[in-house]
């Protein structure tokens, strides 16, 4: 009898759809992975094509040379004490005429005043003349008696001494310039009348100033013809020979300037201005810098050999001052510097700068060390 086995078909029918579902899920996962990998490769390509960030900058060439610290002082032309000459009389007199006025240029020997000596002073001069005449006669008479044996050697010596004394007294009176009648007072030096202190009719005592002249001594390179005042702390850095440039303060003379040298630096503080007096010699002949002109002086001091960089190129942080130069590959390179002097819109600095590399003067506040840079178009009159 044959053996017959019967199997149920229900489980088999259920397994077929399950297998199909697994196959579909596997195919979908493979397709998703393929798309994801393609998308990743596309993103990497796009990222690699994006340029690195860079800053637009403007640069200049850097050079090393003489740079000075500029100090500013104020003063007056031709008011230094060494330039002033006071006109006075050694005797009591009355002013009858004034022949000049303030600001007038006079030559040496030019008439300034007409005066009349006091009568008592004239009498003293006349008495000195009479005494000299009398002593001269007495000496002649004594010499005659001495030759006749009627006078002694002592009497002759006394007569000679009396004449010498009388002549010395007359010479002293004559040196004062005193004379009867009108006397003309002349200029002792060539220059400009800076001040008049006498007027017609004034009775002036001996030694009283009648006028003040500012001598024309611009030919003397060692004489100060400009008087300046400077802060005591700044005066310690000044030395004779430092270069000075004058600028008039009057708006009508704006743009004029004159160059000279410092010839005198005071060693004390002026009691009135609380400044240190400084004298400068500046050739001013034929210029608009007339005596009495108020001026500003730019004085170059502490001159040294430094890197001359524009003020805009120097930055500062907690590490100190620094600049940026363009290294090969258009990369910003920070260079630490020490500011030594200031001169107008520039600094004199010390540091490890490279003269062959451009110096950044615009856009440097956005830079970091090693950052990529590109040259921006220069503005009209700007850096290049």
Q: Please give the Cα distance from 268 to 273 (Å, whole number).
A: 12
The pTM of this model reads: 0.55
Quote the pLDDT of residue 141: 92
Q: CATH 2.40.50.100: which residues of the chain?
A: 81-215
Strand partners, 349: 307, 339
CB atoms closer than 10 angstroms to residue 72: 13
Helices 153-175 and 119-147 pack at an angle, to 10 degrees, of 160
CB neighbour list of residue 119: distance below 8 Å, 6 or more residues apart: none
Provide the CATH number for the domain formed by 71-80+216-303 in this structure: 2.40.30.170
Handedness of CA 157, 159, 161, 167 (dihedral sign): negative
Q: Please give the Cα distance from 333 to 364 (Å, whole number).
A: 11
pLDDT tens for the chain, 384 residues long, are 444 443 344 444 444 444 444 454 555 555 444 544 444 554 454 444 555 678 888 999 999 988 888 899 999 987 556 677 899 988 889 999 999 998 888 999 999 999 998 888 788 888 888 999 999 999 999 999 989 888 899 999 999 999 999 999 888 877 777 777 888 999 998 888 888 999 999 999 988 999 998 776 555 567 788 999 999 988 888 999 999 999 999 988 888 999 999 999 999 999 999 999 999 999 887 788 887 889 999 999 888 899 999 999 999 999 999 999 999 989 999 999 999 988 888 899 999 999 999 999 998 888 889 999 988 765 433 444
Q: CATH 2.40.30.170: which residues of the chain?
A: 71-80+216-303
CB neighbour list of residue 254: distance below 8 Å, 6 or more residues apart: 248
Provide the CATH number for the domain formed by 55-67+305-375 in this structure: 2.40.420.20
Quote the pLDDT of residue 33: 47
Q: CATH 2.40.420.20: which residues of the chain?
A: 55-67+305-375
Q: Report the largest interatomic distance among the alpha carbons of the chain, rounded to a whole angstrom.
A: 216
Provide the CATH number for the domain formed by 81-215 in this structure: 2.40.50.100
Quote the pLDDT of residue 228: 93
């Amino acid at each position: 009898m044959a053996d017959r086995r019967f199997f149920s078909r229900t489980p088999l029918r259920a397994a077929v759809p399950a297998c199909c579902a697994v196959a579909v899920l596997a195919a979908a996962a493979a397709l998703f992975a393929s798309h994801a990998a393609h998308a990743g490769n596309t993103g990497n390509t796009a990222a690699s094509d994006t340029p690195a960030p860079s800053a637009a900058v403007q640069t200049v060439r850097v050079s090393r040379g003489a740079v000075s610290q500029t100090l500013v002082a104020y003063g007056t032309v031709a008011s230094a004490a060494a330039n002033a000459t006071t006109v006075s009389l050694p005797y009591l007199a009355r002013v009858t005429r004034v022949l000049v006025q303030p600001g007038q240029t006079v030559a040496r020997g030019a008439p300034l005043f007409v005066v009349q000596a006091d009568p008592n002073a004239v009498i003293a001069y006349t008495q000195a003349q009479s005494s000299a005449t009398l002593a001269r006669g007495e000496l002649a008479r004594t010499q005659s008696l001495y030759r006749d044996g009627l006078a002694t050697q002592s009497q002759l010596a006394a007569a000679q001494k009396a004449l010498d004394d009388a002549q010395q007294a007359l010479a002293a009176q004559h040196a004062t310039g005193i004379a009867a009648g009108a006397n003309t007072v002349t200029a002792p030096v060539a220059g400009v009348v800076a001040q008049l202190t006498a007027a017609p009719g004034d009775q002036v005592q001996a030694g009283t100033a009648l006028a003040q002249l500012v001598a024309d001594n611009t030919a003397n390179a060692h004489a100060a013809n400009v008087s300046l005042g400077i802060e005591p702390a700044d005066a310690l850095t000044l030395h004779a020979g430092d270069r000075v440039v004058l600028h008039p303060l009057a708006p009508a003379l704006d743009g004029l300037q004159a160059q000279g040298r410092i010839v005198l630096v005071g060693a004390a503080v002026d009691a009135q201005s609380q400044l240190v007096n400084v004298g400068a010699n500046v050739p001013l002949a034929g210029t608009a810098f007339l005596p009495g002109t108020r001026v500003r002086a730019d004085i170059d001091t502490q001159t040294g050999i430094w890197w001359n960089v524009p003020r805009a190129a120097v930055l500062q942080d907690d590490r100190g001052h620094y600049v940026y130069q363009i290294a090969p590959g258009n990369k910003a390179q920070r260079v630490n510097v020490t500011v030594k002097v200031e001169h107008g819109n520039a600094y004199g600095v010390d540091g490890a700068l490279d003269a062959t590399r451009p110096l950044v003067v615009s856009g440097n506040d956005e830079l970091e060390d090693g950052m990529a840079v590109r040259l921006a178009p220069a503005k009209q009159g700007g850096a290049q």
